[in-house]
Amino acid sequence: MAMQIRKEAAISFPKIKPSKNKGYLSFIHKLPCVVTGRYGVEAAHLSMAAPQFGHYGRGKGRKAPDRWVLPLSRESHYEQHQDGEERFWSRTGINPHILALTIFGLYSDMGDDAQPFATAIINQVLANAGRLRERGQP
């Protein structure tokens, strides 16, 4: 017997125009990579949905707002796209939605003055994963 999904039970995602914030993207580029700790990052938008955090993902005609961006090294960003986001973030042990919201919240409250705080949080994430780099390490 085939199972039917009632239309009332289907999840409806709001269609919103993604907010873009050049100042925030510039701020992200000043931070270390959340996976490697290296500087010289790319702004990596999260595509996978997490409605419990207010992120409805990307789809046809829908892009992720800049709130859902994390600093990733070029290699990590490439890997994120090649492996698929869920597998990539699962392997890192990072909840990207919580981290993205935390960094965005700091920037929203403090602007560019949030850089040392965001860097400290990223370093704590790296330390928790055993990936914190020593000073002067490439």
- Asked if the model's pLDDT at residue 136 lies above 80, the reply is no
Does some domain include residue 7? no
Query: What is the span of the domain harbouring residue 95?
Result: 19-48+63-128
Does some domain include residue 111? yes
**∠ at Cα 118 (129, 86), nearest 5°?**
50
Question: Residue 113: its pLDDT value, please?
Answer: 97
Question: Residue 19: its pLDDT value, please?
Answer: 63
How many angstroms separate the CA atoms of 47 and 73, rounded? Answer: 17
Does some domain include residue 73? yes
DSSP 69-89: EEEE-HHHHHHHHHH-HHHHH
How many angstroms separate the CA atoms of 128 and 49, rounded? Answer: 25
Question: Residue 28: its pLDDT value, please?
Answer: 97
Q: What's the number of domains the chain is made of?
A: 1
Q: Which of these, 26, 13, 24, lies nearest to 66 by C-alpha position?
A: 24
Q: What pLDDT, in 10s, does the model give residues 3-61?
A: 554 444 445 555 555 567 789 999 999 999 999 999 999 999 888 877 776 666 666 55
| Cβ-based neighbour number of residue 99 at 10 Å | 18
**Overall pTM > 0.85:** no
| Cβ(73)–Cβ(40) below 8 Å | yes
Does some domain include residue 118? yes
How many angstroms separate the CA atoms of 22 and 88, rounded? Answer: 26
Q: Which of these, 57, 127, 124, 59, lies nearest to 86 by C-alpha position?
A: 57
